[in-house]
Amino acid sequence: MADLPAGLGVVEPQFARVCEGGLDLECGRRLESVTVAYERYGHLNAARDNVILVCHALSGGAHAAGRHAGAHKPGWWDVMIGPGKAFDTDRYCVVCSNVLGSCYGTTGPASPDPATGRPFGRRFPVVTVGDMVNVQKSLMDHLGVSRLHAVAGGSLGGMQALQWAAAFPGAVRSVIALATTHRHSPQQIAFNEIARRAVMSDPHWRGGDYYDGERPRAGLALARMLGHITYLSDRGMERKFGRRLRGDALRFDISGEFEVESYLEHQGRSFVDRFDANSLLYLSRALDYFDLAAGGRALADVFRDTDAAFLLLTFSSDWLYPPYQLEAVAAAAQSAGRPVVYREMASEYGHDAFLLEHEAQEPVIRAFLGNPTRYNPLRHSGPEAPSRCHAPIGDRGGLASPSACS
């Protein structure tokens, strides 16, 4: 381990059978057996109250930090998790588990269907963020943890964090949600529908039963390319690519002439080597179904029973999960009497900012985790001045005006 940079070093995936007796899903169907892949960094204290559950986004997995033996790349949030980092493993026991429906070790459409012994494919039941969180709760029971110090995540991970507070109001001391929403909008649903149709239009998809043959690579790559446009911002793309060409001069070809096109092609191609097309269908659908205020329920009522404190972070150029969405969550949780800190951070990275702006996030998250109910961003200013932020209700008795923090 001498050649590894300071950090967690080599980590190992773990697996657990959870949901004993089967898992009843929101769609009305049932999974008889659920396996969860997870990783754990840092030590569980004697009181078992120092666990931070980190939740991953659509294409992530349980490998959030450290390195697997022989791997070059660390986990997806390694910059944030480790000794002395924002999620400080000298202090907290950080757990990250792969979500239900994914393809990185937890039960999903590529897993064998116990009824046939062959991969579920499209016979896998439609799963929701609520189902994912039920599986995580079962994993926490398995680990003997009854209350989380925090649950944290961005995008789909942020939905899981919010869902924890809604579904298990007494089991969460604090919620950290980044670049996410309480409810998928029609535009968000629409982009996902295009991605799904790209996969399902690929003749190699074959109704989802492609595991014994060629995979729907072109369709999955196309879906991912579209995803990447929505993860970046207009200005960020201008800065990163401009109109630069792949070659020295214009070739006047119908496709693949600009650098931005090469970038997307590369992203699409590398994604199909690591992700299952059916998982993209199921996880994107879980995003679409997510609606904490379903059935006309007032969003504030969703947070009425929890005693959690909330840290909600958005990014100015994120147009896939625009700041107004988490701002609505902030207002609702605050009107339910919860301590809430909402910050819109200035960034050109678009939706990707939640993974890239770690320097700006780190001091905010670290300070919040240290004392979730009393954290005040007006006293703990990060390197990045937020364009809008709200102080916790306990400190100011209401939403701070935007100009108070900029």
* Binding residues for a second copy (CB under 8 A): 26-28, 122, 125-126, 183-187, 189-191, 193-194, 196-198, 200-203, 218-219, 222, 225-226, 229, 232, 234, 237-238, 240-243, 250, 252-261, 264, 281-282, 285, 288-289, 291, 319, 322
Beta pairing class for 174-178 and 150-154: parallel
| Minimum CB–partner distance for residue 165 and a second copy (Å) | 21
Distances (CA, A) of 284 to 34, 112, 135, 191, 279: 20, 21, 18, 10, 8
From CA 355, how far away is CA 264, in angstroms rounded? 18
Which one of the listed residues 63, 184, 228, 351 is annotated catalytic? Answer: 351
| Minimum CB–partner distance for residue 331 and a second copy (Å) | 17
Beta pairing class for 87-88 and 93-97: unpaired
Which one of the listed residues 155, 279, 317, 347 is annotated catalytic? Answer: 155
From CA 352, how far away is CA 279, in angstroms rounded? 21
Quick one: CA torsion of 342, 150, 172, 153, rounded to 10 degrees?
60
Which one of the listed residues 59, 318, 347, 390 is annotated catalytic? Answer: 318
401 carries an active-site annotation:
no
143 vs 356 by CB, closer to a second copy:
356
From CA 341, how far away is CA 327, in angstroms rounded? 10
| Minimum CB–partner distance for residue 51 and a second copy (Å) | 31
Q: Give the residue carrying structure tokens 């995936």.
A: 13
68 vs 217 by CB, closer to a second copy:
217
Distances (CA, A) of 375 to 169, 201, 232: 20, 49, 30
Quick one: CA torsion of 256, 279, 169, 153, rounded to 10 degrees?
-30
45 vs 187 by CB, closer to a second copy:
187
List b or e across 301-327, with b for residues whose CB sees 16 or more CB atoms inside 10 angstroms: ebbeebebbbbbbbbbbbbbbbbebbb
211 vs 258 by CB, closer to a second copy:
258
| Minimum CB–partner distance for residue 208 and a second copy (Å) | 9
212 vs 252 by CB, closer to a second copy:
252
318 carries an active-site annotation:
yes
Angle CA(161)–CA(165)–CA(167) in degrees, nearest 5? Answer: 105
What are the two backbone dihedrals, phi and then psi, of residue 24, each rounded to the nearest 5 degrees? -80, 125
155 carries an active-site annotation:
yes
| Minimum CB–partner distance for residue 185 and a second copy (Å) | 6
| Minimum CB–partner distance for residue 369 and a second copy (Å) | 32
248 vs 252 by CB, closer to a second copy:
252
From CA 8, how far away is CA 65, in angstroms rounded? 7
Q: Which residues are the active-site residues?
A: 155, 318, 351
